[in-house]
Structure 1
Amino acid sequence: MARVKICGIRDMEAARAASTADFMGFIMSDRFRRFCPPSIVKDICSMVHGVKKVGVFVDQPLDEVIKLAEYCGLDMVQLHGHESIKYAEKIQKPIIKAFRYGEDFSVEGAEAYPAEFILIDSYSKNTVGGSGIAFKWREAASTIKRLKKPYIIAGGISADTLQEAITIFDPYGIDASGAMEIDGRKSPELIRKFLSAAGKKVVEA
């Protein structure tokens, strides 16, 4: 079964619901609506155990990324912008590097990047991620399956489309966010529904 990453966590209630996922993501750039203040991220990281905590950064100063990763107690750093290889080589924590399928995606470029995991997201001219839109999975599958590094599929995945994504890509992991929101906030109930669909243990309220 594919690993699960629940992204865009912003409060303790959602974090507890997502604690049985494999990864939990926090948006660390205040340019985006799902931004979670570092003080809250730090509290969640210190109180919620058994799940890898991932900070999502988008074209931010390198020293800021390094300092926030240490301050918050993050396990991993996700680079979701156009960060260079030299930039990534200076980060000491494991890296997830996001690429947007359709934006000149290159298997060779992804393989050359110094990241432990590759995340494939949907391309949108309006945002670098979190669009809630799935890319053309069947069209993209043969290309993405050429990756040798573990890859994570993102973009518009819900409890209803989860198994389809797993069947098409056979990925290391699935990343989901918007499908578990009501009025722009994570719903613990929808998080539990997604995790149940993914075959994960569910922590009841």
Structure 2
Amino acid sequence: MGAKIKICGIRTPEIIQVCTDLKVDLIGLNFSPNSPRNIKENEISNLIRNRHTEGFPKIVFLFYGNEIPEIRHIVENYKPDYVQLIQDDAKLTDDIWNHYLNSKQLLPSFRIRENIKDESVLCPELPFVILDSYKKGLGGGTGESFPWEYVKNVKRPYLLAGGITPENVREALNYLNPFGIDVASGVETDGKKDPEKIKQLVKYVRG
């Protein structure tokens, strides 16, 4: 099937429809108060209203810097397929992390700052994780990549995030052969998701 594609930080039903039509695998809705892509609870129902139609992407809710009761409330009421938590989020507790880990709903994001020498820290009990770049105060969507050689020897499945664009995605796939890619700012124009860039990206990934 080739590499999986996750488009993160989506804010409109129109872009979700584009992703559905292109058979994108996962879509991310961002609830982080720190992010320019964040959405509010009252927007969720409209965005995922077609979730039960055939071919609708898996839904990921991203939290970073959120209060624990808010995370629990939103997840329990809107039931995403995955809950994306950032491993070094100071607001997280072991309880909430382990809750979603044990239910296999957790999609953990690890922000890479050095060579990964020990894969046992990357939640081997889960099907896949996200490996992203680090930028203080942001849980993702930085538009900046990290040195790919840091994860060159990682064998477990992961989505490569951080500065992926239509222009460099083939290079990334050829160099690392990741399970998939996770893109936010790389398919935007002037801070908004660009359907043409999403189409380009999907074309380059699917070949």
TM-score normalised by structure 2 residue count? 0.84
> Which of the residues 15, 29, 33 maps onto 2:32?
29
Deviation readout 1:136-177 (Å, 9 max, x if unpaired): 11x21334x24x3x2110011111211111112211110011
Q: Secondary structure, in 3 states, of the residue corresponding to 2:111?
A: strand
Kindly indicate whether structure 1 or structure 2 has the higher relative contact order, using CA contacts under 8 Å at least 6 residues apart.
Answer: 1
> Which of the residues 126, 132, 150 maps onto 1:140?
150
Deviation readout 1:87-124 (Å, 9 max, x if unpaired): 22223461110011106865322236x64421100122
Q: Secondary structure, in 3 states, of the residue corresponding to 2:182?
A: strand
Percent identity of the aligned residues? Answer: 28
Q: Secondary structure, in 3 states, of the residue corresponding to 1:47?
A: coil
Backbone CA RMSD of aligned residues: 2.2
Deviation readout 1:28-64 (Å, 9 max, x if unpaired): 1222110012222222212244210100011433332
Q: For 2:204 and 2:31, how far apart are their aligned partners in 1?
A: 28
> Which of the residues 196, 200, 203 maps onto 1:193?
200
Q: Is the deviation greater in 77-86 or in 55-64?
A: 77-86
Deviation readout 1:58-92 (Å, 9 max, x if unpaired): 14333321221232331110002524543222234
Q: 1:177 to 1:53 in 2, by over 3 A?
A: same
Residue 86 (str. 1) matches residue 117 (str. 2): no
TM-score normalised by structure 1 residue count? 0.84
> Which of the residues 105, 110, 125 maps onto 2:136?
125
Question: In the alignment, which residue of structure 2 is the partner of 1:102?
Answer: 113
How many residue pairs are counted as aligned between the two chains?
195
Q: 1:142 to 1:189 in 2, by over 3 A?
A: closer
Unaligned runs of 5+ in 2: none
Q: Is the deviation greater in 152-161 or in 103-112?
A: 103-112
Check conservation: 1:95, 1:117, Cα contact below 8 A.
no
Question: In the alignment, which residue of structure 2 is the partner of 1:6?
Answer: 7
